[in-house]
Amino acid sequence: MIKALLNAARTGLAEVRIHKMRSVLSFLAIAVGSVVFMDSLASIVNIYSRLEQQKQVSGIARMKIVQNNSLRYSTPDEYKAPPVFTYANVRDLRNKLPWLYMVSAEKRTGRNVFEYEGRRVVTTLAGITPEWRKRNFVYTLKGRFLDWNDTENKLRVCVIVRRAVPPPAGNSGKAKREKPRYTNAFEVLATHNDLLGKVVKIDNVTFTVVGVMDELPASRRPKMSMAGYQNYNILAPVTTLTHYRFLREAFASLDVTIDAGSERDFDKAMRMVRNFLKTRFGDVDYFLIENQMGMLQEQMQKSIKASLMTISLGMLAFLAGGIGIMNVTLATVFARTKEIGIRRAIGASRWDIMLQFIVEAVMLGLIGGVLGSALGYLWGVPIKVMLGMGGSPIKPWMPLASVLIAAFTAFAFAIYPAWVAAGLKPADALRAE
């Protein structure tokens, strides 16, 4: 068997040398498929990797309790101010459902005035609890984060958030320009001053900066579109902001993000949270529960569909290459009909004839796959980077997979031409001119 394979390989190499142009075209047909497949495979692997990162960082079994503001406008004559969801309610919810992974109370203020060493800038302030850190924490921390002592005792402490430098965009090589924001002056001040441990003023109330969080660069940070990611400038205990009237009474109801931890516990968590709201506030829908898990799952499904479409392009390119090899192999069979007759006449079996043409086709696929893998790496890493398109995250195993699929494609499409060759009768083949 091994001897027959070696003889078929030598014959195949001889055919490649003799018919150089035909062989080169066959190589290119498979090589193009390999390039498209590698780029598509890198894209789908990257998408799945980002989805897993998002699930780890952002979670998926999430819901959010928000005040039902529609009541404010739908019944103007009988309107009564709805109850607010206070920090005490959040604490009660956490005590009743201790198995929940996260119960994070949060509320943003409007525009605040930040003052440091006589310089006054506009910023945004968010009240949180320590549970906020359990999800969407894409930062490095200097100093410490807010703890339960800060929250329970309404301490005037805060954490500064510094945004990462925007990534390069396009082929100009210049940093991506963002739309101007009214907090730009604060971000410049926070970037160029070491505020850790300093005393600052926010709306004329003194705070001590106990921590500084630097956002991770875009290359190391999973996209937060799935998780409703928001930008923050300053974080402080939500109890402190309520106590010092940063949160006005009419808008003091807290938003509460709840994470069940796993998808299988989501329905149970949703049911128990509804029961809690009904018990605490009655049958009136003063609060809405936003099903964020459904939105996250929908976004994940869209990403998976996009990745499957991408990989299908790679497979179609391989099919096109395989059809090219089948065409070339059929042409070779008809051109070597007399040779096939002679081999059959001197004792070669049908299996020997099939093996010869299959091995020759697989060699074309292997060489084309190696060539395509090399071109795919060049396209996916240096060329795309130079064009400003962002390099493809090609893993070491991807070229090997591309070569193996190229060889298998050549094998599959060579079976029919090889079967045709093996089916030629010796007498008919010898009569062929």
pLDDT digits 0-9 by tens, 121-131 = 999 999 999 99
**CB contact set of 302 (below 8 Å; sequence gap of 6+):** none
Model confidence pTM above 0.85: no
Q: For residues 3 and 23, what is the distance between their CA atoms, to the nearest angstrom?
A: 24
Strands (E), 268-364: 287-291
Q: Quick one: CA dihedral 349, 351, 352, 353, positive or negative?
A: positive
For residue 187, pLDDT over 70 is answered with yes
Question: In the predicted model, what is the mean pLDDT of residues 362-381?
Answer: 85
pLDDT at 168: 57
Q: What percentage of the chain's residues is helix, strand, coil (to nearest 5)?
A: 55, 15, 25
Question: In the predicted model, what is the mean pLDDT of residues 295-324?
Answer: 78
Q: For residues 132 and 259, what is the distance between their CA atoms, to the nearest angstrom?
A: 11
Fill in the DSSP letter of residue 7: H
Question: In the predicted model, what is the mean pLDDT of residues 353-364?
Answer: 85
pLDDT at 363: 84
Question: In the predicted model, what is the mean pLDDT of residues 40-67?
Answer: 81
pLDDT tens, position by position, 165-178: 766 554 444 444 45
Question: In the predicted model, what is the mean pLDDT of residues 79-103?
Answer: 89
Q: Answer whether 254's CB lies under 8 Å from 151's CB.
A: no
**CB contact set of 334 (below 8 Å; sequence gap of 6+):** none
Closest CA to 241 of 92, 110, 89: 110
Q: Answer whether 340's CB lies under 8 Å from 55's CB.
A: no
Q: Quick one: CA dihedral 414, 418, 419, 424, positive or negative?
A: positive
Give CB contacts under 8 A, 24+ apart, made by 110-114: 111/182, 112/202, 112/203, 112/234, 112/246, 113/201, 113/202, 113/203, 113/204, 114/186, 114/189, 114/200, 114/201, 114/202, 114/233, 114/234
- How far is C-alpha 153 from the chain's CA centre? 40
CA triple 146-149-155, angle to 5 deg? 75
Residue 390 has φ and ψ, to the nearest 5°, of: 85, 125
How far CA 35 is from CA of 87, 388, 404, 407, in Å, comes to: 56, 19, 14, 14
**CB contact set of 17 (below 8 Å; sequence gap of 6+):** none
pLDDT band at 143 (very low <50, low <70, confident <90, very high): very high
pLDDT at 228: 46
Of all residues in the chain, what percent carry a pLDDT higher than 90? Answer: 33
Closest CA to 160 of 140, 182, 178: 140
Question: In the predicted model, what is the mean pLDDT of residues 377-403?
Answer: 81
Dihedral of CA atoms 105, 208, 117, 214 in degrees, nearest 10, equals: -60
pLDDT band at 225 (very low <50, low <70, confident <90, very high): very low
pLDDT band at 97 (very low <50, low <70, confident <90, very high): very high
Q: Answer whether 176's CB lies under 8 Å from 168's CB.
A: yes
β-pairing, 62-67 vs 287-291, is antiparallel
Give CB contacts under 8 A, 24+ apart, made by 115-122: 115/200, 115/201, 115/202, 115/204, 116/189, 116/193, 116/195, 116/198, 116/200, 116/201, 119/189, 121/183, 121/185, 121/186, 121/189, 122/182, 122/183, 122/185, 122/186
For residue 250, pLDDT over 70 is answered with no
Best-predicted range by mean pLDDT among 67-81, 299-313, 331-345, 356-370?
356-370
pLDDT at 172: 42
Helix axes 2-18, 350-378, angle to 10 degrees: 60
pLDDT at 433: 52
Element (H or E) spanning 369, and its range? helix 350-378
pLDDT at 32: 80
Question: In the predicted model, what is the mean pLDDT of residues 110-117?
Answer: 91
Of 36 and 215, the structure prediction assigns the larger pLDDT to 215
- Residue owning tokens 């989805």: 51
Task: Measure the N-to-C terminal CA separation of the chain; round to a whole number of Å.
Answer: 31
Closest CA to 276 of 106, 94, 152, 70: 94
- Domain locations in the chain as residue ranges: 2-54+300-431, 83-285
Helix axes 20-58, 397-422, angle to 10 degrees: 140
pLDDT tens, position by position, 317-356: 788 888 888 888 888 888 778 888 887 788 878 888 888 8
Q: Answer whether 317's CB lies under 8 Å from 32's CB.
A: yes
